[in-house]
Amino acid sequence: MGKPLTERFIQQSVAEKLNKEYYRRRTAYVSTEAYTNLKRADVLLAFMRAPKRPYVVVVEAKSRSTIRQLRLRKPQGGGAGRLLRLLVTVTLAAGIAYAGYRRQLDGPYLLALFAGAGALLFWAIGRVSVRLLRAVPAIRQLAQYPANESWLAMGKQTFPDAGSLTVLRKQCRKNGVGLILVDDRGRLTFPEIPRPRHTFNDYLSRYGRRSEILATIDHHPNYGPTPPERRQNRRRLLYFLVLLVITAGLILLVYEGEPGKTTEPAPPPAASTPEGVDIDGETADFDRVSDRDPVAPAPAALDICPPVHPNRPTFVVVDGEFTPDEVQVRLTQLLAAGLRGHDVLPAACLERGDPEASVITTGEDFASPELADAAALRYRSLLESLGVPVENSEVRQLTGQ
């Protein structure tokens, strides 16, 4: 272990190199032994953060001779603190004793329970308060200096053990104070970065010689955030992005199982039943469908026959010959299976037709019986594949009478 560094050496090293190596401001005011409200800051660094916005950095230097101010100290509690601690202990112990009374414990046992619980709680509260309220005196001293950023400077070899330095770093991080370590050559390292506060507050007005300092730092300044500010902004951006990702994930989880609004596809256009029919879904129960009222109105039967060319025979594929009531049921069955485009004609319009009945055709005319027979075979196969009962599926010539 080398020779301990003096507090004066630490002050001079920080005053010479803090702005040059860390803040790098073109014009800055650096002073040692700066006073404010009868308090003395070891190093004062001031520069312009923005137009007419001075920025103040203070440093408190400590050496091995003042090492006690760098260690954790118990809180200096007064009589009010001890009285509050006693009241809390008595209240909790009384509650425990009352619980024992509800369980019908004897008087001596209740007294022993109250005394034991009170002693244990008094000790536990004291330990917790010490752990939570302990502080480093040097950091408390820094809080008395108004500044945008505060540093604590010490020699690298100030602490004889690494554990004390680790505790000090945790306290600096907790209180938003930076830590500067100075070696025997005056080189600076920055293991902890301060947390900027009130960026645009004018803390310079709390110090003497404000006009002189402003005249110095307002000469060709370079504006912009400090390294601790940039670090803080990056961290805030990271937190925002993490929060955004978490929010998006929660939204996806909430709405994942809720299907959006969907529109039913339009029904396929009317086409020839035997060819190009697209059927979706399961096959309908035609026995159950035939036992109930029709779900869709059937097209009315034509009163007259369609015109037929006298020299050009016309053939159609007949699904079946039905009475008017049966026509409704049959069309409902075909519609339930997804078959559309059928025509309803008087049976008298066809050869061998019953004048009192109606026929259902596939809705397509054929110029030759061969073409009609092939279409009838396809139609029959389609009905069988869909599970629709086949009524007739035969070819007849359209007479037009």
161-184 pLDDT, tens digit each? 888 899 899 999 999 999 999 998
In this structure, are 118 and 63 located in the same domain? no
Query: At residue 29, what are phi and psi to the nearest 5 degrees?
Result: -110, 125
In this structure, are 379 and 308 located in the same domain? yes
Q: Is the pLDDT of residue 283 over 50?
A: no
Burial label, 297 (beta-carbon count in 10 A; 0-12, 13-18, 19+) = exposed
Task: Tell which wins on pLDDT, 363 or 132.
Answer: 363
In this structure, are 48 and 111 located in the same domain? no
Query: To which H or E segment does residue 324 belong?
Result: helix 324-336
Predicted pLDDT at 295: 44
Q: Is residue 191 part of a domain?
A: yes
Query: To which H or E segment does residue 178 belong?
Result: strand 178-182
Average pLDDT, the chain: 79
Using alpha carbons, list the distances in angstroms from residue 355 to 38, 358, 401.
123, 8, 11
In this structure, are 174 and 26 located in the same domain? yes
Q: Is residue 2 part of a domain?
A: no
Provide the Cα torsion 162, 164, 167, 172; round to 10°.
-100
The SS3 assignment for 69 reads: helix
Predicted pLDDT at 9: 93
Q: Is residue 53 part of a domain?
A: yes
Taking each helix axis from N to C terminus, what angle separates 107-133 and 79-102, rounded to the nearest 10 degrees?
Answer: 140
Q: Is residue 272 part of a domain?
A: no
User: In this predicted structure, which of 122-126, 223-227, 342-346 has the lowest mean pLDDT?
Assistant: 122-126
Nearest to 14 by CA among 1, 30, 37, 38: 30
Which residues pair with residue 44 across a beta bridge?
Answer: 31, 58
Q: List the alpha helices (DSSP H) in 5-136.
A: 7-18, 79-102, 107-133
Q: Is residue 195 part of a domain?
A: yes
Query: At residue 327, what are phi and psi to the nearest 5 degrees?
Result: -60, -45
In this structure, are 126 and 140 located in the same domain? no
In this structure, are 128 and 150 located in the same domain? no
Predicted pLDDT at 132: 61
The SS3 assignment for 295 reads: coil
Task: Tell which wins on pLDDT, 191 or 356.
Answer: 191
In this structure, are 35 and 64 located in the same domain? yes
How many other C-beta atoms lie within 10 A of the C-beta of residue 362? 26
Helix, strand, coil shares of the chain as percentages rounded to 5?
45, 20, 35
Percent of the chain topping pLDDT 70: 80
Regarding pTM above 0.75, the answer is no
In this structure, are 39 and 187 located in the same domain? yes
Using alpha carbons, list the distances in angstroms from residue 235 to 229, 230, 242.
10, 9, 10
Burial label, 379 (beta-carbon count in 10 A; 0-12, 13-18, 19+) = buried
Predicted pLDDT at 289: 40
Query: To which H or E segment does residue 397 belong?
Result: strand 394-397
The SS3 assignment for 33 reads: strand
User: Residue 225: which domain range?
Assistant: 7-73+135-243
Radius of gyration, alpha carbons of the chain? 48
| 364 neighbors 274 (Cβ within 8 angstroms) | yes
Predicted pLDDT at 80: 57
pLDDT, tens digit (0-9, with 9 covering 90-100), for 77-103: 555 566 766 777 778 778 877 777 777
Q: List the alpha helices (DSSP H) in 158-280.
A: 162-175, 210-217, 227-255
- Calculate mean pLDDT across residues 302-316: 74
> How many residues in the chain?
401
In this structure, are 52 and 83 located in the same domain? no
The SS3 assignment for 13 reads: helix
Of 192, 219, 243, which closes a domain? 243
Q: Is residue 352 part of a domain?
A: yes
Q: Is the pLDDT of residue 262 over 70?
A: no
Q: Is residue 178 part of a domain?
A: yes
Of 208, 243, 278, which closes a domain? 243
Predicted pLDDT at 311: 75
Using alpha carbons, list the distances in angstroms from residue 279 to 11, 268, 272, 334.
90, 10, 14, 11
Residue 77 token pair: 């509690």
Instruction: Quote the CA–CA distance of 80 and 91 in Å, as a whole number.
Output: 17
In this structure, are 161 and 300 located in the same domain? no
User: In this predicted structure, which of 33-42, 72-81, 215-224 has the lowest mean pLDDT?
Assistant: 72-81
Nearest to 197 by CA among 227, 178, 224, 176: 176
Predicted pLDDT at 116: 81
In this structure, are 197 and 295 located in the same domain? no
Residue 96 token pair: 């425990």
Instruction: Place 11 in a pLDDT band, splitting at 50, 70 and 90.
Output: very high
Q: How many structural domains are present in the chain? A: 3
Q: Is the pLDDT of residue 18 over 90?
A: yes
Q: Is residue 277 part of a domain?
A: no
Nearest to 203 by CA among 59, 60, 57, 61: 57
Q: What is the DSSP string of 352-380?
A: T--TT-EEEEEEEEESSHHHHHHHHHHHH
Provide the Cα torsion 270, 274, 276, 280; round to 10°.
80
In this structure, are 231 and 353 located in the same domain? no
Predicted pLDDT at 313: 82
Predicted pLDDT at 46: 93
| 37 neighbors 147 (Cβ within 8 angstroms) | no
Of 180, 208, 243, which closes a domain? 243
Predicted pLDDT at 176: 92
Nearest to 28 by CA among 40, 41, 16: 16
Instruction: Quote the CA–CA distance of 184 and 155 in Å, as a whole number.
Output: 8
Instruction: Quote the CA–CA distance of 63 and 57 in Å, as a whole number.
Output: 20
